[in-house]
Structure 1
Amino acid sequence: MSDVRKALVTGATGYIGGRLVPRLLDAGIQVRVLVRNPDKLRDVPWADRVEVAEGDLGDVDSLRAATEGIDVLYYLVHSMGGKGDFEQIERESAQNVADAAAASGVKRIVYLGGLHPEQGELSPHLRSRVEVGRILLDSGVPTAALQAGVVIGSGSTSFEMIRHLTEVLPYMPAPKWVRNHIQPIAVRDVLHYLIGSADLPESVNRTFDIGGPDVLRYGQMMNGYALEAGLKQRPIAALPVLTPWLASQWVNLVTPIPRALAMPIIASLQFDCVTHEHDIRDFVPDPEGGLTPYRRAVRLALGKMKAGEVETSWQDGFVEGAASDPLPSDPDWAGHTVYLDIKKRETDASAEALWTVIEGIGGQNGWYSFPLAWAVRGWMDKLVGGVGLRRGRRSATRLNTGDALDFWRVEQIDRGSFLRLRAEMRVPGRAWLEMRATPAEGGGSVYDQRAIFFPRGLGGRLYWFAILPFHGVIFNGMANRITATALASTEPAPRLDSEESGRTS
């Protein structure tokens, strides 16, 4: 990237963008990131190494400011949802970026789109990606539109879908598309091509198919995962009655992938998805050692997961239908109807010990109260297309701003003292859960817990009062067990007297 001095990355909080940014920085490139909410970058390890431009793809003025002085622009934004006219929104966003890049003298655009068949009707998701690529190619700015299929890496949506389907089901009733041919690519190879494409000659303005060295059926990919994970290969029966819609419901129920994400992925698998050319090799040499075979990509992804080193995840993205606005600083004065459930406990545990329990909540540690009730609520959310509880958490001990946490998302964290979670389950309104650890005078600490709900219409109000009896059990239990767990972690182990020691030695 000898000629590139400054890059603008859109989609820096997403799966690919969050991995690309630190690699550009390590290559000596100055990076500016365009984000709607800078708070999402508070806890990423490279936050203090980038310039942050606050803006939106729909805001022309913010795009003009963000593209000023930029050599290469990475377009890594794409909606996975299907609500409303998302294709029109995608077209407008791409056109805004194209116009801003041309006006600012950007030297190159690099876009990551979707691998697709040359013939046949495309799904709305793929059709939109093709259209975005066309708009950028027609922008007057030299553009490299990379087209990738299934991306394999720790935390990728495609990998997580394969992983959970294979691990959960000993026998796989599957749609007929499990027989289709797919050319997966390791996320490390996608990043290699993205970085290399920034230095393409000015005359290059075209699409490039990118894929790994293996062409497999989807069923072979699932069984390849099984072998790498130490599982038995799964018998797979292709059933023509499983339409994309039915298959997305199935994936929604048996994996953490919500229906809104599963549907576009499944729709894109209805045809063979393989590269038709590999011309990128003429401009960007393959990585040292060659492209990553599928089984090795799975092995690397599993290794990252076991080591707790998942760099970015599909969970980092926006979830369709979930409220994304932060809690107003004063909800009452913001004109909302507000329902609160407040709990307070004093404990002899230190504030540090209490905070450790708070930051470790969710995932494998659970929610410290009535596990069956939480599980039922998670399944209810799954049944209506929500994310459910199985999203888990990326790290067992640390939370960062923007992290997914079961069916919550970390909206604010003041490490050591305060955590605010925003609900992403399907509810008739907007909900938050706050937990605070405060040192108490004379020792010990105080635990404050607050559940906040903004109801939407009559249904929201009826919902709140219907679950009030459960709140009495769940939220009281949470407060009691969180403080008890914190206290137990600080109490010294009981000492054995000499007689007891003799009996047990």
Structure 2
Amino acid sequence: MNPTVLVTGATGYIGGRLVPELLTAGFKVRCLARDPDRLRDHGWTDRVERVRGDVLAAQTLRPALAGVDVAFYLVHSLTTGAGFEQTEDEAARNFATAAKDAGVSRIVYLGGMAPQDTPVADLSPHLRSRVRVGQVFRACGIPTVELRAAVVIGSGSASFEMLRYLTERLPVMVTPRWVGTRIQPIAVRDVLRYLVGAAVAPDPAVGIGGVFDIGGPDVLTYREMMLRYARLADLPRRLIVAVPVLTPGLSSQWVGAVTPVPASIARPLVESLRHEVVCGDRRITELVPDPPEGLLGFDGAVRLARTRVREAAVTTRWSSASMPGAPSDPLPTDPAWAGGSLYRDLREAEVDIPAERVWRVVESIGGETGWYSFPLAWAIRGWLDRMVGGIGLRRGRRDPETLRLGDTLDFWRVEALEPGHLLRLRAEMKLPGLAWLEMRVEPTAGGRTRYRQRALFFPHGLFGHLYWWSVAPFHAVVFGGMVRNLLRRAAQEDPGGAS
């Protein structure tokens, strides 16, 4: 019989990525959540047992842990408000007591890496609470594997998103002293491999103890991580100046102002960065051996984590997939600020016109037909593109009525084509970022049609953000007019296709 595992924190960053890994490994998975409906957006939700419970409500834990072999404790609050550490301690004690009463054979806990030579009392509140939670579990009498990680590199990880946004948005940074702190980051892929391995490894209480530092092969300062991220993202080298006057509170407010990561989340991360967090040993390999290809380094982890650029144009990527493609990919359940900046202009309309007539107009767009809105604006954009060495509007289109995948279309290229339904164009003009224009045609009841249009822009560095906001005031005229005029043209089409 396959062992049963309980995953707490399945609605969180690590938990949402761990569940499919456990399913692949053959476990029966039960997920504990205060609101199980929050799990419905995951592709694996119909393959797990969902139970309602709260680690702060002890009476809800015993039934949730009944029949469980291994319990994963992935609950941790990224706040440091009044009573924060007492709340964390109470939750851990509730869980440990209920797990022991239920006969759970092992607890696997993901905590935070702490410096070897710093007393627990001198740690930041964020790290101190994580260390003390591990102590609660190890004292409860259940064999416990505590994995301690520093910065986790993966799209959606709060630590990584803070690094991503700071580097992408600020070519020049006046930073706190913690940019010189040495850190041993780890790819989320390897974190998940260690978690799954910890569930099946021999009893860690025999010989090697139950606390294990986990980190990737690189030890870097935060400054070095920002500089390497800039290089991997093809950004100009960043100028970073450290000053001694920025306290953790001021630093978190600064992060909150510069990035979408809320200051309330940034503060515990920033406070922890004052500690050097480097693996004290490699005993973890005695419990979970390294993979044949070795651990993923910082550069490789960043390349995987930057998948938002590739996924930006694929609207059905997660809703149609039963399992994630990779642990580093964005998930629909990630917070809105995760995944990097992606600007959108969304417009739609429903009309009393057959879908095939709307599609004929969509497919004939560009070239001599034009773009159905503010011709002068499109012409000026083409001239500007040519002035900076781009292709402008001079390419036109291959055929006046039909398109093929890969066709050039003025300064766009056909990236996706589903005849009668979807046309997605990728910009090939000179831009400080990546841009797409997507048009969807969907039949609705009574012979009506819904037309949906999206313009997407993934900025490249600070200039990319400035470019988007400089042109955003014109979107109502350009893209709004495009919707109105395209549908007006479709209404004028006769049923046979001639205008």
Q: Normalised by the shorter chain, which TM-score bucket?
A: 0.5 to 0.7
Pair 442,316 (structure 1): closer, same or farther in 2 beyond 3 Å = closer
Amino acid at match of 2:223: G
Distance apart, 1:141 and its partner CA: 0.7
Asked if 2 retains the 8 angstrom alpha-carbon contact of 1:176 and 1:239, the reply is yes
Please give the alpha-carbon distance, in whole angstroms, between the structure 1 residues aligned to 2:128 and 2:54.
23
1:209-230 Cα distance to aligned partner (Å, 9 max, x none): 1111111111000001011101
Alpha-carbon distance change, 237 to 38 in structure 1, aligned in 2, over 3 angstroms: same
Question: 1:219 corresponds to which letter in structure 2?
Answer: R
What whole-Å deviation, never above 9, does each CA across 1:5-30 have from its counterpart, x for those lacking one? Answer: 11100000111000000010011110
Q: Map 1:133-282; keep pairs closer than 5 Å.
A: 133-204=134-205, 206-282=210-286
Q: Aligned partners of 1:256, 1:174: CA distance in 2, in Å? A: 17
Aligned to 1:302: 306
**Do 2:176 and 2:245's aligned partners in 1 also have CA atoms closer than 8 Å?**
yes
Deviation at 1:83, TM superposition (A): 2.6
Partner of 1:380: none
Q: How does 1:482-501 map to 2 (within 5 A)?
A: 485=483, 488=486, 492=490
Q: How does 1:378-457 map to 2 (within 5 A)?
A: 443=448
**Offset at residue 124 of structure 1 (A):** 0.7
Q: 1:99 to 1:482 in 2, by over 3 A?
A: farther
What residue number does 2:113 align with? 115
Q: Which of 26, 29, 49 in structure 1 is aligned with 2:27?
A: 29
Q: Could you list the runs of 5+ residues in structure 2 that have no partner in the other structure?
A: 313-324, 338-348, 356-441, 451-474
Residue number in structure 1 paired with 2:125: 124
CA-to-aligned-CA distance 1:251-294 (integer Å, 9 cap, x gap)? 10111100011000000000211111110101110123011111
CA contact (8 A) 1:113 1:130 kept: yes
User: 1: distance between equivalents of 2:485 and 2:8?
Assistant: 45
Contact 2:204 2:287 in 1 (8 A): no
**What is aligned with 1:83?**
81
Q: Is contact 1:71-1:107 (8 Å) kept?
A: yes
Shift of 1:202: 2.6
Q: Is the 8 A contact 1:19 1:311 kept in 2?
A: no
Cα root mean square deviation, aligned = 3.5
Shift of the alpha carbon at 1:495?
7.0
In the alignment, is the contact (CA less than 8 A) between 2:154 and 2:160 conserved in 1?
yes
CA drift of 1:488 comes to 4.8
The residue matched to 1:209 in structure 2 has which SS?
strand
Alignment partner of 1:42 is 2:37:
no
1:344-380 residue CA offsets vs partner (Å, 9 max, x unmatched): x9854799xxxxxxxxxxxxxxxxxxxxxxxxxxxxx
Identity, % of aligned pairs? 50
Partner amino acid, structure 2, of 1:149: A
Larger Rg: 2
Distance 1:28 1:347, change over 3 A: same
Change in CA separation of 1:483 and 1:236 when aligned onto 2, cut-off 3 Å: closer
Q: 1:183 deviation in Å? A: 0.4
Aligned residue type for 1:243 = T
Q: Which amino acid aligns with 1:302?
A: R
CA shift in 2, pair 1:441/1:80, >3 Å: same
8 Å Cα contact 1:113-1:129 kept in structure 2: yes
Paired residues of 1:189 and 1:287 also in contact (CA < 8 A): no
With normalisation by structure 1, the TM-score equals 0.64
Counterpart amino acid of residue 95 in structure 2: V
Aligned residues: 357
How far apart, in 2, do the equivalents of 1:216 and 1:100 lie?
Answer: 40
Task: Answer yes or no: is the 8 Å Cα contact 2:3–2:28 preserved in 1.
Answer: yes
- Of 312, 316, 326, 2:334 maps to 316
Q: Give the counterpart letter for 1:256 in structure 2.
A: P
**Alpha carbons of structure 1 residues 317 and 34: separation in structure 2 relative to 1, 3 Å:** farther
Residue 416 of structure 2 corresponds to which residue in structure 1? none
Specify the code of the residue in structure 2 equivalent to 1:275.
Answer: C
Q: Is the 8 A contact 1:6 1:31 kept in 2?
A: yes
Kept in 1: contact 2:350–2:448 (CA 8 A): no
Which structure 1 residue ranges, 5 or more long, are not aligned?
Answer: 320-344, 352-436, 446-476
1-structure distance, mates of 2:354, 2:79: 44
Label 1:53 to 1:494 Cα distance change in 2 as closer, same or farther (>3 A).
same
Deviation for aligned residue 1:113: 0.3
- The answer as to whether partners of 1:73 and 1:106 remain within 8 angstroms in 2 is yes
Residues 34 and 482 of structure 1: is their aligned pair in 2 closer, same or farther, counting only changes over 3 Å? farther
> CA 1:69 to 1:225, structure 2 compared with 1: closer, same or farther past 3 Å?
same
Question: Partners of 2:46 and 2:333 in 1: how far apart?
Answer: 23
Mapped to 2, the partners of 1:44 and 1:140 lie a distance apart of 34
* Equivalent in 51, 54, 57 of residue 55 of structure 2: 57
Contact 1:115/1:147, CA 8 A, preserved across alignment = yes
Task: Give the whole-Å Cα distance in 2 for the aligned partners of 1:303 and 1:82.
Answer: 31
Q: Is the 8 A contact 1:72 1:106 kept in 2?
A: yes
Question: Matched residue of 2:291: which SS?
Answer: coil
Per the alignment, do residues 442 and 83 of structure 1 end up closer, same or farther by CA in structure 2, a change over 3 Å counting?
same
Distance in 2, Cα, partners of 1:229 & 1:113: 30
- TM-score, with length taken from structure 2: 0.65
Distance 1:486 1:7, change over 3 A: farther
Task: Give, in whole Å, the separation in 2 of the partners of 1:199 and 1:122.
Answer: 32
